[in-house]
Amino acid sequence: MMKPLAATTAATSAVVCYLLARASPMCAFSPPSSSARRHNISFLRSNPESENALATDLVLPPFGSRQEFESYLQARAIMPAGFRCGSAPGRFIPVEAPSMGALKIQLTLVALDTPTDVWGAVFTRNLFPGAPVTVGRERLASGAPLQALAVNNKVSNVCAGGDGAAATERVCAAAAAALGLAGGGSAVLPSSTGVIGWRLPAEELAGEVVPAAAAELAAGGGDAFTAARAIMTTDRYPKLRSRTLKGGARVVGIAKGAGMIEPNMATMLSYIFTDAAGVDRATLQSVLARAVDASYNSISVDGDESTSDTVAILSSSLVPLADGPEGLAEFEEAVREVTAGLSADIVRNGEGTKHVIRVQVRGCPGTDKLARSLGRHVVNSPLFKCAVAGNDPNTGRIAAAIGSFLGKLEGDVPDGATDLLTISLGGRIIFSGGNFVLEGDEVEAELSAHMRAAEFGEADDYPRHQKFVEVGIDFGTPGGNAIVLGSDLTAEYVAVNADYRS
């Protein structure tokens, strides 16, 4: 059970009201009273200062301890109206490696009070997708309503022996039975993350863990923070972002992911929950796709696209948006802000990461997509990543990465495309007119100091700050633009991935 929610003074009444509505013991899944829900929504509508207090900042503040960080998230983790969640731990012995003994596994359930037709999702394009991705694609294509998510860590259920899809469906059926869902297992969207190639311990999950998670959900024991923490694998801390709209609707997102990060039309695992009404299914899918393209598709920790990448958005449609196009625009902006924040959190929480690199590309000779690919190429350069890890302003590695990328495009790059190219590091121009501008020890010291200022502990269990190693690539002409986030490469990354399965 999580610690009591530490809300700010302005939002205390709304927080207490919402928790009381969800804390009454019950022996089966049932929604909070409509009067309690109306009271909470009415409070948010009439107290705009509480809307701000219940939302995460666009740029998180610096934190001095893990407790301070977690208290900040807990105060902003209230789920939108119509959602509940619960998690439970379990143990299993992997068939593929029984000598490892009984290993821990966690399963999280998120359920809506009633089924919803308003949901969307995007999945990995890896040609070896996990069984939950295959099942999820089928759910999306069917157009059928959803009422729950079932997410397990430790085992990804990818290309494993046996029938992976059947194992996934067994867990979904167990979740539906435990929650009393009229739609059965097909009303549950599954996700799995963890070791590739291991069989999903469906018997242990369905028989023991799912019922325990459903019991916590029914008792009101979970919120978005507990869900964000429960789906972690090698993540060092939970990732949660939230926004509250003018009319009281909420947009709350959680994510997990620290390694095998270079998404392609999806992300590691991320879920966005909202109670906003007035957004149809097709519009919601389009909003999600645009947000994913600008956020999760613009990050990279290690250049490896996962086999399990999934991002899903679900709406309970209980709180009306503001009238007219302004309401939809506000909603889309909130989704964009949540996904942008979560994607940055994923990179900052990357395995062994102690610097986050932000590359801004302007005027790339081509499309925004090409600009994004160039940015990825720079942040994925092992030589540049290692230089950043050591606070070494070896600027030639940036230019080399740019030249390598453009050279591979062969005839697609027009003559003279780099004539006006400038490169900056930490805001200082380091390359212009075809030459480096790096004269004197003062410049070297300034660039190294910029890197050191953005550094944090590679094993920190909370984000100390939100600073970046800033790289600018400007071609000086109209063209594609992009912002890409990446991480450095440290010995800790190697250590984590040399011993991942245990």
| Residues identified as active-site | 267
CA 433, CA 440: separation in Å to the nearest integer? 19
- Report whether 241 contacts 463 (CB < 8 A): no
CA 347, CA 361: separation in Å to the nearest integer? 18
CB count within 10 Å of CB 497 equals 14
Tokens of 358: 């932000």
How many whole angstroms from its chain centre is CA 145?
A: 23
CA dihedral 159, 162, 165, 168 (to 10 degrees): -100
What are the CA-CA distances from residue 48 to residues 14, 45, 230, 242, 245 (Å)?
12, 6, 31, 15, 9
Neighbour-count burial of 444, counting CB atoms closer than 10 A to its CB (0-12 exposed, 13-18 middle, 19+ buried): middle
- Report whether 310 contacts 158 (CB < 8 A): no
Tokens of 229: 């923490």
Residues 6+ apart with CB under 8 A from 329: none
- Report whether 474 contacts 422 (CB < 8 A): yes
Q: Which DSSP string do the residues of 171-218 spell out, in sequence order?
A: HHHHHHHHHT-TTGGGGEEEEE-SBTTPPP-HHHIIIIIHHHHHHHHH
- Report whether 14 contacts 237 (CB < 8 A): no
CA dihedral 264, 265, 269, 275 (to 10 degrees): 160
Region for 397 from its dihedrals, namely left if φ exceeds 0, alpha if ψ lies in -120 to 50, beta otherwise:
alpha
What are the CA-CA distances from residue 450 to residues 223, 393, 429, 444, 447 (Å)?
38, 9, 13, 10, 5
| E-only strand ranges, 229-352 | 239-244, 250-256, 269-277, 299-300, 310-320
